[in-house]
Protein backbone atom coordinates (compact mmCIF):
# COMPACT_ATOMS: atom_id res chain seq x y z
CA UNK A 1 0.00 0.00 0.00
CA UNK A 2 1.02 3.65 -0.17
CA UNK A 3 1.51 5.99 2.80
CA UNK A 4 1.39 9.64 1.78
CA UNK A 5 3.33 11.78 4.27
CA UNK A 6 2.83 15.51 4.82
CA UNK A 7 5.69 17.50 6.45
CA UNK A 8 5.42 20.07 9.23
CA UNK A 9 5.78 23.84 8.80
CA UNK A 10 9.23 24.50 7.39
CA UNK A 11 9.71 20.79 6.79
CA UNK A 12 10.47 18.89 3.61
CA UNK A 13 9.92 15.46 2.10
CA UNK A 14 13.30 14.23 3.31
CA UNK A 15 12.02 14.34 6.90
CA UNK A 16 10.26 11.04 6.18
CA UNK A 17 13.30 9.11 4.92
CA UNK A 18 13.53 7.08 8.19
CA UNK A 19 9.87 6.09 7.97
CA UNK A 20 10.26 5.15 4.32
CA UNK A 21 13.25 2.94 5.09
CA UNK A 22 11.51 1.25 8.02
CA UNK A 23 8.25 0.47 6.19
CA UNK A 24 9.69 -0.67 2.88
CA UNK A 25 8.88 -2.82 0.96
CA UNK A 26 5.41 -3.56 2.35
CA UNK A 27 4.49 0.12 2.38
CA UNK A 28 5.53 2.64 -0.25
CA UNK A 29 6.08 6.00 1.42
CA UNK A 30 5.35 8.98 -0.84
CA UNK A 31 6.38 12.18 0.93
CA UNK A 32 4.94 15.48 -0.27
CA UNK A 33 7.41 18.23 -1.16
CA UNK A 34 5.80 21.64 -0.70
CA UNK A 35 6.82 24.43 -3.10
CA UNK A 36 9.57 26.83 -2.03
CA UNK A 37 12.10 24.40 -0.51
CA UNK A 38 14.91 22.04 -1.51
CA UNK A 39 14.39 20.87 -5.11
CA UNK A 40 11.32 23.14 -5.41
CA UNK A 41 12.97 26.20 -3.89
CA UNK A 42 12.48 28.32 -7.01
CA UNK A 43 8.71 27.79 -7.04
CA UNK A 44 6.43 30.33 -5.35
CA UNK A 45 5.47 29.43 -1.80
CA UNK A 46 1.80 28.78 -1.03
CA UNK A 47 0.44 30.54 2.04
CA UNK A 48 -3.08 29.13 2.08
CA UNK A 49 -3.90 25.64 3.40
CA UNK A 50 -6.91 25.27 1.11
CA UNK A 51 -4.92 26.09 -2.01
CA UNK A 52 -2.08 23.80 -0.96
CA UNK A 53 -4.53 20.96 -0.26
CA UNK A 54 -6.11 21.48 -3.70
CA UNK A 55 -2.70 21.29 -5.36
CA UNK A 56 -1.69 18.14 -3.47
CA UNK A 57 -5.03 16.52 -4.24
CA UNK A 58 -4.58 17.25 -7.95
CA UNK A 59 -1.07 15.77 -7.92
CA UNK A 60 -2.28 12.59 -6.24
CA UNK A 61 -5.04 12.22 -8.83
CA UNK A 62 -2.57 12.69 -11.68
CA UNK A 63 0.01 10.28 -10.26
CA UNK A 64 -0.49 6.94 -11.93
CA UNK A 65 2.20 5.13 -9.96
CA UNK A 66 -0.07 4.55 -6.99
CA UNK A 67 -3.23 3.79 -8.97
CA UNK A 68 -5.16 0.92 -7.45
CA UNK A 69 -3.15 0.83 -4.25
CA UNK A 70 -4.92 1.43 -0.95
CA UNK A 71 -3.46 4.54 0.66
CA UNK A 72 -3.15 6.10 4.08
CA UNK A 73 -2.10 9.61 5.11
CA UNK A 74 0.41 10.64 7.79
CA UNK A 75 0.88 14.29 8.67
CA UNK A 76 2.80 16.01 11.43
CA UNK A 77 1.79 19.46 12.74
CA UNK A 78 0.81 21.51 9.67
CA UNK A 79 0.99 18.25 7.76
CA UNK A 80 -1.81 16.79 9.90
CA UNK A 81 -4.10 19.63 8.79
CA UNK A 82 -3.19 19.02 5.15
CA UNK A 83 -3.73 15.26 5.47
CA UNK A 84 -7.22 15.96 6.80
CA UNK A 85 -8.06 18.52 4.11
CA UNK A 86 -6.85 16.31 1.26
CA UNK A 87 -8.85 13.39 2.68
CA UNK A 88 -11.93 15.62 2.71
CA UNK A 89 -11.43 16.47 -0.95
CA UNK A 90 -11.00 12.86 -2.03
CA UNK A 91 -14.07 11.69 -0.14
CA UNK A 92 -16.26 14.56 -1.36
CA UNK A 93 -15.69 13.40 -4.93
CA UNK A 94 -16.98 9.98 -3.98
CA UNK A 95 -13.62 8.33 -4.59
CA UNK A 96 -11.89 5.83 -2.35
CA UNK A 97 -10.19 7.85 0.35
CA UNK A 98 -7.39 6.90 2.71
CA UNK A 99 -7.92 3.78 4.80
CA UNK A 100 -6.58 5.73 7.78
CA UNK A 101 -5.34 9.21 8.59
CA UNK A 102 -2.51 9.61 11.10
CA UNK A 103 -2.63 13.09 12.66
CA UNK A 104 0.54 13.82 14.61
CA UNK A 105 1.41 16.83 16.75
CA UNK A 106 -1.65 18.92 15.93
CA UNK A 107 -4.87 19.88 17.65
CA UNK A 108 -8.17 18.95 16.01
CA UNK A 109 -9.19 20.97 12.93
CA UNK A 110 -12.09 22.58 14.79
CA UNK A 111 -9.89 23.87 17.61
CA UNK A 112 -8.40 27.32 17.03
CA UNK A 113 -5.84 29.49 18.76
CA UNK A 114 -5.01 33.11 17.98
CA UNK A 115 -1.41 32.41 16.99
CA UNK A 116 0.51 35.19 15.24
CA UNK A 117 4.06 33.83 15.12
CA UNK A 118 4.19 34.54 11.37
CA UNK A 119 3.94 38.27 12.15
CA UNK A 120 6.80 38.32 14.63
CA UNK A 121 10.31 39.63 13.80
CA UNK A 122 12.97 37.11 12.85
CA UNK A 123 14.47 36.97 16.34
CA UNK A 124 11.18 35.86 17.90
CA UNK A 125 10.47 33.41 15.09
CA UNK A 126 13.88 31.82 15.68
CA UNK A 127 13.15 31.68 19.41
CA UNK A 128 9.93 29.78 18.67
CA UNK A 129 11.79 27.34 16.43
CA UNK A 130 14.36 26.68 19.15
CA UNK A 131 11.60 26.18 21.72
CA UNK A 132 9.88 23.51 19.66
CA UNK A 133 13.05 21.66 18.68
CA UNK A 134 13.02 19.29 15.76
CA UNK A 135 15.28 21.53 13.67
CA UNK A 136 19.03 21.31 13.24
CA UNK A 137 20.14 24.34 15.22
CA UNK A 138 23.29 24.83 13.14
CA UNK A 139 21.45 26.70 10.41
CA UNK A 140 20.13 29.15 13.01
CA UNK A 141 23.71 30.41 13.43
CA UNK A 142 24.35 30.83 9.70
CA UNK A 143 23.10 34.12 8.24
CA UNK A 144 23.11 32.81 4.69
CA UNK A 145 21.04 29.76 5.58
CA UNK A 146 18.67 31.83 7.70
CA UNK A 147 18.01 34.08 4.71
CA UNK A 148 16.90 31.01 2.76
CA UNK A 149 15.02 29.05 5.41
CA UNK A 150 13.25 31.70 7.50
CA UNK A 151 10.97 32.93 4.68
CA UNK A 152 9.83 29.35 4.08
CA UNK A 153 9.03 28.80 7.75
CA UNK A 154 7.26 32.15 8.00
CA UNK A 155 5.11 31.33 4.96
CA UNK A 156 4.11 27.96 6.39
CA UNK A 157 3.29 29.51 9.76
CA UNK A 158 1.18 32.12 7.98
CA UNK A 159 -0.75 29.37 6.19
CA UNK A 160 -1.44 27.20 9.21
CA UNK A 161 -2.13 30.06 11.65
CA UNK A 162 -4.76 31.48 9.30
CA UNK A 163 -6.33 28.08 8.69
CA UNK A 164 -9.93 27.69 9.78
CA UNK A 165 -11.92 24.52 9.38
CA UNK A 166 -15.63 24.13 9.86
CA UNK A 167 -16.14 22.59 13.31
CA UNK A 168 -18.43 19.97 11.73
CA UNK A 169 -15.98 18.90 9.00
CA UNK A 170 -15.84 15.08 9.13
CA UNK A 171 -14.11 12.36 7.12
CA UNK A 172 -15.08 8.71 6.79
CA UNK A 173 -11.49 7.53 7.24
CA UNK A 174 -10.52 6.26 10.70
CA UNK A 175 -8.14 8.59 12.51
CA UNK A 176 -5.13 7.78 14.68
CA UNK A 177 -3.82 10.75 16.63
CA UNK A 178 -0.26 10.85 17.97
CA UNK A 179 0.65 13.54 20.47
CA UNK A 180 3.35 14.54 22.92
CA UNK A 181 2.28 14.97 26.53
CA UNK A 182 4.28 18.21 26.79
CA UNK A 183 3.52 19.70 23.38
CA UNK A 184 2.96 23.47 23.84
CA UNK A 185 0.82 23.57 20.69
CA UNK A 186 -1.55 20.69 21.49
CA UNK A 187 -3.14 19.73 24.78
CA UNK A 188 -4.41 16.20 25.34
CA UNK A 189 -7.95 17.55 25.22
CA UNK A 190 -7.27 19.25 21.87
CA UNK A 191 -5.79 16.01 20.54
CA UNK A 192 -8.79 14.01 21.77
CA UNK A 193 -11.07 16.46 19.90
CA UNK A 194 -10.05 14.82 16.61
CA UNK A 195 -12.60 12.14 17.53
CA UNK A 196 -15.38 14.49 16.38
CA UNK A 197 -13.86 14.73 12.88
CA UNK A 198 -14.16 11.09 11.82
CA UNK A 199 -17.06 8.74 11.18
CA UNK A 200 -14.64 5.84 11.50
CA UNK A 201 -12.86 4.48 14.51
CA UNK A 202 -10.53 6.68 16.55
CA UNK A 203 -7.31 5.96 18.41
CA UNK A 204 -5.08 8.23 20.47
CA UNK A 205 -1.44 7.42 21.22
CA UNK A 206 0.38 9.64 23.71
CA UNK A 207 4.17 9.86 23.91
CA UNK A 208 6.45 11.62 26.34
CA UNK A 209 7.95 14.80 24.96
CA UNK A 210 7.11 18.03 23.21
CA UNK A 211 6.11 18.99 19.70
CA UNK A 212 8.69 16.77 18.00
CA UNK A 213 8.16 13.75 20.24
CA UNK A 214 8.24 11.51 17.16
CA UNK A 215 12.01 11.99 16.81
CA UNK A 216 12.64 10.65 20.31
CA UNK A 217 10.13 7.83 19.81
CA UNK A 218 10.78 7.04 16.16
CA UNK A 219 10.58 3.26 16.56
CA UNK A 220 7.39 3.42 18.63
CA UNK A 221 5.74 5.78 16.14
CA UNK A 222 6.60 3.45 13.26
CA UNK A 223 5.24 0.51 15.27
CA UNK A 224 1.99 2.43 15.78
CA UNK A 225 1.69 3.03 12.04
CA UNK A 226 2.56 -0.57 11.16
CA UNK A 227 0.05 -2.01 13.60
CA UNK A 228 -2.75 0.24 12.35
CA UNK A 229 -2.04 -0.59 8.71
CA UNK A 230 -1.59 -4.32 9.37
CA UNK A 231 -5.11 -5.36 8.28
CA UNK A 232 -4.58 -3.73 4.88
CA UNK A 233 -1.20 -5.30 4.10
CA UNK A 234 -1.04 -8.47 2.04
CA UNK A 235 1.47 -11.11 3.15
CA UNK A 236 4.53 -11.21 0.87
Q: Rounded to whole angstroms, how far apart are CA atoms 2 and 65?
A: 10
Q: Rounded to whole angstroms, how far apart are CA atoms 177 and 118?
A: 26
Q: Taking a C-beta distance cutoff of 8 angstroms, is the pair 163, 190 a contact? A: no
77 is known as an active-site residue: yes
* Contacts by residues 112-121 (CB-CB < 8 Å, ≥ 24 positions apart): 112/164, 115/157, 115/161, 116/161, 117/157, 117/161, 118/154, 118/155, 118/157, 118/158, 118/161
Catalytic, out of 12, 14, 77, 104: 77
Tell me which residues are annotated as active site: 77
Amino acid sequence: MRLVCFPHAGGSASYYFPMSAALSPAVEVAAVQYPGRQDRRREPRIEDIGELADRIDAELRADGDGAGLPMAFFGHSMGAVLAFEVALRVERRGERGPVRVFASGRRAPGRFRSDTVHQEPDALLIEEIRRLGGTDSRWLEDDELKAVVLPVIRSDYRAVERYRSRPDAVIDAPVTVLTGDADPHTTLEEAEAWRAHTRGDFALSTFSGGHFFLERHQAAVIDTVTEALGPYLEPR
